[in-house]
Amino acid sequence: MNIVADTHTHTIASSHAYGTIIEMATYAAKHGLSCIAMTDHAPAMDDAAHVWHFFNLHLIPNYIEGVRVLTGAETNIIDYEGHIDLPEDLLKKMDWVVASFHPEAIKPGTVEQHTEAILGMLKNPYIDVFGHPGPNNFKFDYDYVVPKFKDSGKYIEFNASSFTFRAGAKENMRYVAKLCAKHGVEVVVNSDSHSPFNVGDVQIALDLLREVDFPPELIINTDLERFKRALSNRHIPVVY
Ligand SMILES: [Zn+2]
Ligand SMILES: [Zn+2]
């Protein structure tokens, strides 16, 4: 099993990432991917792309080197009501939107506060993915929140790079995986790559899902038809 689309990647528009979109797509093609999403950091992060970056995403062609390029952002959850740091007029033009907790953009709070933030975020129709949910500093009420993702039009991310450096991410996501399987919640497996060299590198996340006997049909991006269906079921459908 491997992914066909990597829906969380960064380009040089985020200053601690090292590839242009052409380089990212070129390596994605080399690594056998059909699609990548370009999800640079939204303005609440220090290394974020300027807001003008997001205004101009329509200049990116749908296909580069034969790879479907979805334009979007990794937005920041900036308060415990679940608001994010890009306005609706920009979000509605995007193909794919990730929303994540980053300590640089929101002070880690209590389990209850994180839980409230996620429930608030779930009400935002423009968000597709809850990015890297696992770290210890942003724990939430897993048992209560995970089932709420079912039929929400949003996916829980298994973020491979997070497993390597965010404390608790891997262990907590093992528990989240079991809950997703139990409640039929769909997930997406992404690299969060910050350089062309590790686009599509998600083995550590796929291994974890295999270890818990995760149902493959709940992973939206390991099958192209399933992934296309997810895009067409979006709040604003995306044509592949
Ligand atoms: Zn992130
Ligand atoms: Zn990221």
* Series of mean pLDDT values for 10-residue runs along the chain (240 residues): 96 95 98 97 94 96 98 98 97 98 97 98 98 96 98 95 86 97 98 97 97 97 98 94
Q: How far is the CA of 74 from the centre of ligand 2 (A)?
A: 6
Q: Which two tokens stand for residue 106?
A: 């929101």
Of 173, 155, 153, 177, the closest CA to residue 163 belongs to 173
Residue 240 maps to a domain: no
Residue 127 is predicted with a pLDDT of 98
Residue 101 maps to a domain: yes
Whether 83 and 77 have beta carbons less than 8 Å apart is answered as yes
CATH of the domain at 85: 3.20.20.140
Whether 198 and 191 have beta carbons less than 8 Å apart is answered as yes
Residue 23 maps to a domain: yes
The structural domain count of the chain equals 1
Q: How far is the CA of 51 from the centre of ligand 2 (A)?
A: 17
Domain residue limits at 211: 5-232
Residue 238 maps to a domain: no
Q: How far is the CA of 131 from the centre of ligand 1 (A)?
A: 6
Interacting residues of 80 by C-beta distance below 8 A, sequence separation 6+: 106, 109, 113, 114, 116, 117, 120
Residue 239 maps to a domain: no
Q: How far is the CA of 179 from the centre of ligand 2 (A)?
A: 24
